[in-house]
Amino acid sequence: MTITYRSYLRLPELLDLQTPLSGVHDELLFVTIHQASELWMKLCLHELGEARRRIAADDLPPALKMMARVSRIQTQLIQSWEVLATMTPADYAAMRGSLGQSSGFQSDQYRCLEFIMGNRNAAMLALFVEEAVRARLTAELAVPSLYDEALRLLARRGLPVPAERIERDFAQIAPPSREVEACWAIVYGQPHDHWDLYELAEKLVDLEYHVQLWRFGHLKTVERVIGFKTGTGGTAGVPYLAKVVEQRFFPELLDVRTSL
């Protein structure tokens, strides 16, 4: 069988997946933006999972490339809010009833991204009823995050990372550590002696920076389209998203900028 562009990308199946329920013109926009975002998140998980494995294997150059790629993908995700923000309050109100109780809050891929980057909260598992989804997220909570592997690498390079940060319950968020911050201060203070670790630190900061821009874009888009209404998934909407923006993934990498 001849492989064509259409068959290779399975375009008939892909383009048949956008199935608005309300008949409202703008629902196709809403569905397309969210489906495309899930595809980008799938690629982010693919890249970050492999980057984590490379860091654990002391193979930094490809890991840095993969992390840089994710930052570019995040730019695409951020830009998608600009497109969705063309939906007016009246447009959204006309189709909102077709969403039922569904919400982006229930995106298991987004939750897995949060988990792999280190923002872990086992209570979030209760949101997901599908056994396969819960198993995947539970498995992610059991292994070191991307940041955990970065700290393990620092320890292997002889930096004094506290032992309790190397072996711990990875399902829990570790509180910010002055000792870890001091390790990053060594890397930033002597970059030519730790150049690949310095690059790793900056790639991690890039990831956090873009996640925060994505979160802020989400907040402002929701505020623009529905104001301060309760979200379809039962969250407080804008006030909830504002609290999410305050969450940090790699606190020591931000705190060290003050102490340098």
Q: Tens digit of pLDDT for each residue in 90-99?
A: 999 999 988 8
31 marked ligand binding residue: yes
Residue 147 labelled as part of a binding site: no
Output Rg (C-alpha) for the chain, integer angstroms. Answer: 20
User: What average pLDDT does the structure give for the chain?
Assistant: 94
Locate 214 and state its tokens.
Answer: 């994505």
- Fold that domain 25-93+103-257 belongs to in CATH: Methane Monooxygenase Hydroxylase; Chain G, domain 1 (1.20.58)
- By CB atoms closer than 10 A (0-12, 13-18, 19+), residue 20 is middle
DSSP 102: -
Token pair, residue 219, equals 């907040």
**Domain ranges (residues) in the chain:** 25-93+103-257
**How far, in whole angstroms, is CA 257 from its chain's centroid?**
23
Enter the pTM of the model: 0.93
Name residue 223's amino acid.
Answer: E
Asked if residue 116 belongs to a known ligand binding site, the reply is no
> With contact defined as beta carbons under 8 Å apart, do 231 and 244 qualify?
no
Please check if 8 is assigned to a binding site. Answer: no
Least Cα distance to 75 among 251, 213, 226 occurs for: 213
55 is in an annotated binding site: no
Which of 150, 182, 148 lies closest to 168, judged by CA? 148
The whole-angstrom separation of Cα 194 and Cα 200 is 10
198 marked ligand binding residue: no
Please count the CA atoms within 13 angstroms of the CA of 174 that sit on its side-chain side. 25
Q: Is 225 annotated as a binding residue?
A: no
pLDDT tens-digit profile of 226-257?
887 776 666 667 888 888 888 899 999 999 99
pLDDT in tens, 87-146: 999 999 999 988 888 888 899 999 999 999 999 999 999 999 999 999 999 999 999 999
